[in-house]
A = this chain, B = another copy of it.
Amino acid sequence: MTKLPCAVLGATGVVGQYFLALLADHPEFQVQKVCASESRTGRRIADVPRLIDADLSALGDLEFSPLDMVSLADAGIRVVFSALPADVSKQIEPQAAQAGLCVFSNASAFRMAPQVPILIPEVNADQLALVEYQQRDTSGFIVTNANCTTTGLALALLPLRALGIRRVILSSYQAISGAGYPGLSALDISGNVIPYIAGEEEKIALESGKIFGRLNGETICHADWEVQAHCIRVPTRVGHLLSVHVEMEKTVAESQIVQLYEHCEAPLAVQGLATAPHKPVLLTKDPCRPQPLHDVLAGTPARARGMAVTVGRLQVKGNAVRFVALANNLIRGAAGGSVLNAELAHREGRL
């Protein structure tokens, strides 16, 4: 099978490098171009400081080209993965879609645009159909992955959806890698906790309403739950842990909830995608888990390491379901999320 030629935009940051790592030996996609801001043009991947502990040597000789989307399309690229900063993505990604490219983006810029899906395949694979409305006068489109914290929350709530969720109260324990590189000053966060992450709490509320919304023609009716979050930074490296209190529509039985978590599976449309974990949500009964240090790479098979969310301390009382969840903010919550989105689009014949 021929691989689809793809490009990575913004390949020098932490998320960009994870895109490269996940795509380096991908069965469907082949990185043929990497694009970066002018100042990087002409340098090679191997010349850029490596921020992650993955082996990028297979792609080391690729040279950075400018963020010229028409040239990419002319060169036969069909798929681009975007790790651009929000402001740059705002300008470049529409140019890409206009040039006929299929953009899978980690940037927040277009997540709330009505015709752009925030796609988490296990949760809302149907919303991918929204891209058809973007394709009225171009063959390209934009699909986004959710914010890293939203992603973990959405997957952890997946088993509960069918029973009716009314409200979510959430406190996060977010790793420093979530702020990118250089990100936080060591003087600010080492041995400390910072109880605020600008914009994060709003994103979680808005994005989860859209993700769990109902597709209605070319728009999405947002879910009307309330999500109230305290987003808080702690001195861990990778892995956003969430303490979650869910108010259900009605009283639920603990045994039923445990069963739902134990047997949570991806829908058929997603099963078997290269980067999809066998089980998207893993339930642990060890009261001391999940822990960032030990569970951040949860997920099988090997290609899905870091793609599963681990849920622990599951408790049910009346109409409240309480648990702790952990998601890898760089893989599941960023690069891996968009790679899985592209795999779904590929299977559905949209690429």
- Which A positions have Cβ atoms within 8 angstroms of B? 14, 51, 53, 169, 171, 173, 176-177, 181-196, 228, 230, 232, 234-237, 241, 243, 245, 287-294, 297, 312-313, 317, 320, 322, 324
Contact = CB atoms under 8 A, between A and B. Distances in A.
A189 B186 contact: yes
Given A173-B173, A190-B237, A195-B312, 6 more contacts: A171-B230, A182-B182, A191-B293, A195-B290, A228-B245, A245-B245
13 contacts: A171-B171, A171-B230, A173-B232, A177-B187, A181-B187, A182-B188, A190-B235, A194-B288, A195-B291, A230-B313, A232-B241, A234-B235, A243-B243
Contact of A291 (B169, B186, B193, B287): B193
Contacts of A289: 195
A55 to B, nearest CB: 10
A190 to B, nearest CB: 6
Contacts of A53: 294, 297
Contacts of A171: 171, 230, 243
Given A193-B173, A291-B192, A293-B191, A322 B183 contact: no
Contacts of A185: 181-186
Contact of A196 (B182, B287, B320): B287
A291 B324 contact: no
6 closest cross-chain pairs (CB), A and B: A171-B171, A182-B185, A171-B243, A192-B293, A230-B243, A195-B324
A1 B202 CA distance: 58
Which of A181, A187, A228, A312: most chain B CB closer than 10 A?
A: A187
A235 B191 contact: yes
Contacts of A184: 185-187
A271 B198 CA distance: 38
A237 B183 CA distance: 18
